[in-house]
Copies of this chain bind each other. A is one copy, B any other.
Amino acid sequence: MPEYTTASRFQLSGLCFLLQIITIILFAVFVRYGPESSPGFCSQQLNCSWRNQDTGFQHPRFRDVHLQALLGFGFLVAFVSRYGPGSVAISILIMAFAIQWAILIQGFLHFFLNGKIYVGAQSMVSADFCTAAILISTGAVLGRVNPVQMLLLTLMGVILFTLNEYILLSLMGVRDSGGSLTVHTFGAYFGLMVSRILHQPHMDKYKKQQDTGNQPDVFAVVGTIYLWIFWPSFTSATTVRENAEPWAVLNTYFSLSASTLATLVLLPVLHEEGTLRMVQIQDATLAGVAMMGMAGEMLVTPFGALVAGFLAGLIPPLGFRFLMPVLCSRLKTQDTCGVHNVHGLPGILGALLGTLLTALATADAYGGRLEFLFPLVAQGSWTATDQALCQLCALPITLLLAMLGGSLTGEFCLR
């Protein structure tokens, strides 16, 4: 985190105070725990589909809530490794605020639709998805904005994320349980556009952090371990359950394995130094995760996950070597943690893979799962091609919203 001046110190203190007080007042007026009988905050309504109706899970258990907290932390630790431990403090601040704010904003949207805000395990899951997207966005600007700007970015980012998720999941009926689109792609491009607006030609922070010594590697080790341990189970939290093989979990494991090997195929060729750096392994892991966001629960065979993971693992080394200098010099977009290579491109690729798999979805291949994955297709009111077109349209919409929103946020809030 950059050293901040006396003025900005008091600005930060005041903004924190103001935001927390506003949040507390809004919580006091609007937010209540749901009645005991209802499992989530929007389970019985038909026109509610936060992640509920369309994922088919009805009884979020206690442990699920805790699992979700890992999501934010996986990302958090991941970024620490790229920019040093100084950035964690600010990331935790962002996370603490984003969780509260996301519950409020998502609650308000629901309030306008249904007339009440009930909070429960379910809404904590939604808020954590949102927090993950915001942390990805901050990865693009880390080290070049002050904490006050970070908080404002969070303020706007949460609203835009909620809007995008509502359009995709509720209005269009897109299926994206692991967030290839809603989390990875949205987060990356929102952050990149903010970074582009804030571009300062004289700063070359990116180069600096590339040269840091062993210290960050400790975090990269911890970050990679977190991702391997917790991510696959996390993926299963919002997916089909009960008496079915955990495809999403297994596919994510296979994808992680293959993306790690893929990175090892490219790294020795691209770099001459001859030592593997932990952050590069971690980037491969993150890319493998982003790739499986949408397709994880749709892949019917393990080798599909291996192939997808292998392709995902090739993106970060190529991106850091060839794409990032172009982004920086031509498009004037600095990308501190390389979120474009690690989340943006693999997220888009994952969305395309998911679309392809949706188009090929048949009752034969999925069996009883089809009902949970694509209820409209299973009921016959929609063909698999319709669903696939819908999934495909979600990509440009997300990109548009993220980039437009990022530009406006950067221009009007952070300047």
Contacts and interface: CB of A to CB of B under 8 A. Distances in A.
A20 B261 contact: yes
A253 B28 contact: no
A97 interface: yes
B66 A233 contact: yes
A379 to B, nearest CB: 20
B265 A1 contact: no
A141 interface: no
B69 A264 contact: no
Nearest to A247: B33
A275 B277 CA distance: 28
A113 interface: no
Contact of A249 (B65, B85, B214): B65
Given A10-B269, A302-B33, A16 B368 contact: no
Interface residues of A, number: 105
Given A268-B13, A278-B89, A65 B257 contact: no
A281 interface: yes
Contacts of A124: 250, 253
A16 B93 contact: no
A22 to B, nearest CB: 11
B73 A228 contact: yes
Interface in A33-60: 33-34, 36-37
Contacts of A12: 264, 268
A17 B266 CA distance: 9
B306 A24 contact: yes
A77 B224 CA distance: 11
Contacts of A5: 274
A310 interface: yes
A66 B244 contact: no
A229 interface: yes
A345 interface: no
A24 B307 contact: yes
A31 B303 contact: yes
A63 interface: yes
A65 B218 contact: no
A88 interface: yes
Given A13-B269, A225-B73, A225-B77, A20 B310 contact: yes
Contact of A85 (B4, B88, B214, B236): B214
Interface in A223-279: 224-225, 228-230, 232-233, 236, 241, 243-247, 249-250, 253-254, 256-258, 260-262, 264-269, 272, 274-278
Given A20-B262, A89-B278, A147-B264, 18 more contacts: A3-B275, A16-B261, A16-B262, A19-B261, A24-B306, A27-B306, A33-B300, A33-B301, A65-B253, A69-B232, A69-B253, A85-B217, A85-B218, A88-B281, A119-B250, A119-B302, A121-B246, A219-B221
The 8 closest A-B pairs by CB, nearest first: A27-B303, A66-B233, A96-B260, A89-B276, A9-B268, A28-B303, A96-B257, A13-B268
